[in-house]
Structure formats: C-alpha cells, structure tokens
Amino acid sequence: MLTLFTINTCKSFGCRNLGLPVSACADYSWPDYRLGYPALHCRACGSYPPLFDELQFNEWLSAYLSDYASEYGHFCPECYRKEIICYGHNPRGTQRVQCRACRKVWTPKRQKQRKVVPPESIETVSLIVPFQGNSSEQKLYVLISFDAVSGSVLHISTNFTQHLVGETLRYRWRGIIEPDLHHSDIVNRVDMREIQFLRRSQFDEIQYGSAMLKRNARGAILRPVIAAHGHFRVLNILFPQVKTHVISHECFLRGAVITAWADLFRQREGGLWYIEEEMNESESDIPWTFLSKTQHGWWQTQWQLWGQGENRRMVCPLTGGDKCNAKMLSLRASRYFRRWLNGQDEFSHSAKLSAGRLMQIFISLAHKYNDKLPQTSGE
C-alpha cells in the first residue's frame, strides 16, 4: 500500500527533521515514555510527538481520500494526483474522467463541478455539535476550513467515519469533559487552554464530550486528531502551495497543518497562526491597535494582543511572523459562516439527526452558503 502521509514525525517548526519519517531520520528514537505516553523523540530539537499506529492511519486515510475523490473528481482516487481529463460518458450519459498519471477512469458522483480556485490563505476552526446517538448527550467534532479572503467553505469534515478504522484511531470518552472557556477574559482564556493541553493524557487527546453511535449503527467516531490529519491532507492535495494558515487555538490542529505542508514549513516558506477572538461589538473602520505581548504555556509561545474598541484579538505566530502581518489576520470568515449557520433550520435540529445524516447536512449547507457568495472556491 502506498504510504500517503507520515504521521509519526517531528512537528517542530525550525527543526531539520520536520515532516521526515522515522525511516529517513537518524535523530529519532522510539517508543519513548518520558512524558507518560508512547512518543517519538527527536534528538535534534528535543520534542516528543505522540506515536500513532501508522498502518491503521494510512488504511483509513486511503479509504477517506478515495471516497472524497470519487465524490468530487478533483483528484484521482487511486494515486491522488490532480491531472484529470474528461473521458467520455458512461451508458447513462454521465461524464467520466481519467487520471493522466495512473490512467484510472471513474465517474464522479457530483457532476456539477465547481472551479477550485487556490486560496491565498486558509482559515480553520472547530465546532462541537450535538447529534442523535446512543443517548441525547452525544457530540460530534466538526472541522471547517475557509478561503480566508473570499469567505467560502473549502472543506468540511467531522470525526464520524463510515470507513473501517483500527481500534487505536477511535475516540475514547473517559467521562471528564474539558471545561468551556468561552466566557473567560481573552488573555486568561488563552492561558487556561494551554493548561488544558498539559492536563491531557497526551497533548492531542482531547476530551470534548460523549460520542457514541446508536447500537448496530455503521461507522465509527474518530479521535479528533485523526480527523484533523485527514481533513488537512485533503486540503494539501487540493492546495499544495498555500503558505498562510490561520487556525483556532488547539495544539493538534497546529501539528496536523505543519505536517501536511511540511516541505513548505521546513523551507520556512509557510506561516501558521493561532487566533483567539472576543468580538463584543460589530467591526468598524477603526483600525486595530497593538496593545501588548504575553507568553503562555509549556512552550512559552508569544501572543500579541490587539484591540478595536470593545473587541479583542489574540494572535500567536507559530512559525515566525511580524506584527504587520498579525494585524491583518482574523477569524472573520468563520464568524460570518457561524452566524449564518445558526439561522438555518437544518442545523438547529442537529440533535435529532444521526452522525452520518448530520455530515450530509453540513456539506449541503456549505454548498448553499458558497452559492450565495459572489465568488466561491469550495468543494
């Protein structure tokens, strides 16, 4: 089987081993249990990224990518190349396509193709959404990526999967949910979330709530970190040259982005930013003003605090970056989408929907949202 993605790798920006697999790096040793869980130790930078079952991950990722490619036709479901040509029609008159690289021929399920325009930057946020599972308290982890300039939805995914998954990839609810930090002061919220990371059994082992499918339901609930790596791998195939990424404050989103575009980050050609916002009034023409710098967490990451009237924004450059660039960054695209999403009846009834049906509704709503925008680049 083709190795699609190296998930066991150094994820430290500035390290010479960033994105390199264990087979190609003499600086690695594994498994290392110094932090209390099996980790990969990179002696070059001293980092300890958690170890995953790479075989199980690649088996799931292969099915996930093939399913996406078969659905939309943007890349080949066999070799994942984007060099696609039209190749006649099937007996029903539906357009077939062929991969120029491996000659694979297939018929995309969605015949109405959107023009995929590479974005200048990608903005990604997460949602926790109720669904109807084994009880009324089930939750789904959702990732949504936007063209940060046009605002269109580029890709939306959840940690529900219909594909076979190994046991190490499944979400395990341990009964203690991480506290909601939404109402905290923005500076304290950043600090408290960094503390949350340290309290986890490992940095990426988020406990966002119970998530159990109905008895005998097909599919599985993935660990959010696995869903994130699959999510960004799709985006990397579609947009391999995007150099700017803005993400909500979650450590495993950072790791998933930086490894998906590892070649660009290793060459120091990519920019990755955490954003935390507190919008107490509508944005205006008042310019954002730099207020202060703070350092947070075990990694002592440096954050910049910006103000605009009663609004506050915290920005953290994870791969370098200067104050001038930080002033232009925001979660604006996701804010507009979430405001619109909350007004949709289909979304308001999510607690009555199965995980699979909710995923279909999300995709349908993303298309509906993109159609109302002047120009779209979404799936």
Domain ranges for the chain: 55-106, 121-372
Per cent of the chain over pLDDT 90 is 79
Q: Is 42 left (phi over 0), alpha (psi -120 to 50) or beta?
A: beta
Alpha carbons 347 and 193: distance in angstroms, whole number: 27
Please, are residues 363 and 143 in contact by the beta-carbon 8 Å criterion?
no
Please, are residues 163 and 64 in contact by the beta-carbon 8 Å criterion?
yes
Please, are residues 91 and 84 in contact by the beta-carbon 8 Å criterion?
no
Q: pLDDT per residue over 236-271, tens digit each?
A: 999 999 999 999 999 999 999 999 999 999 999 999
**Where residue 374 falls among pLDDT bands split at 50, 70, 90?**
confident
Q: pLDDT per residue over 181-199, tens digit each?
A: 776 799 999 999 999 999 9
Q: What is the pLDDT of residue 112?
A: 66
Alpha carbons 153 and 333: distance in angstroms, whole number: 9
Task: Read off the pLDDT of each residue in 147-165 and give the average, rounded to a whole number.
Answer: 96
Neighbours of 375 (CB within 10 A): 12
- Supply the mean pLDDT for the chain: 92
Name the residue among 276, 279, 220 with its Cα closest to residue 253: 276
**Angle formed at CA 83 by CA 82 and CA 84, multiple of 5 degrees:** 95
Alpha carbons 216 and 67: distance in angstroms, whole number: 22
With 90 as the cut, is the pLDDT of residue 93 above it? no
Phi, psi (degrees; rounded to nearest 5) at 21: -70, 165
With 70 as the cut, is the pLDDT of residue 4 above it? no
* Pairing, β 244-248 against β 271-278: parallel
Phi, psi (degrees; rounded to nearest 5) at 202: -150, 160
- Residue type, position 46, single letter: G
Alpha carbons 283 and 220: distance in angstroms, whole number: 41
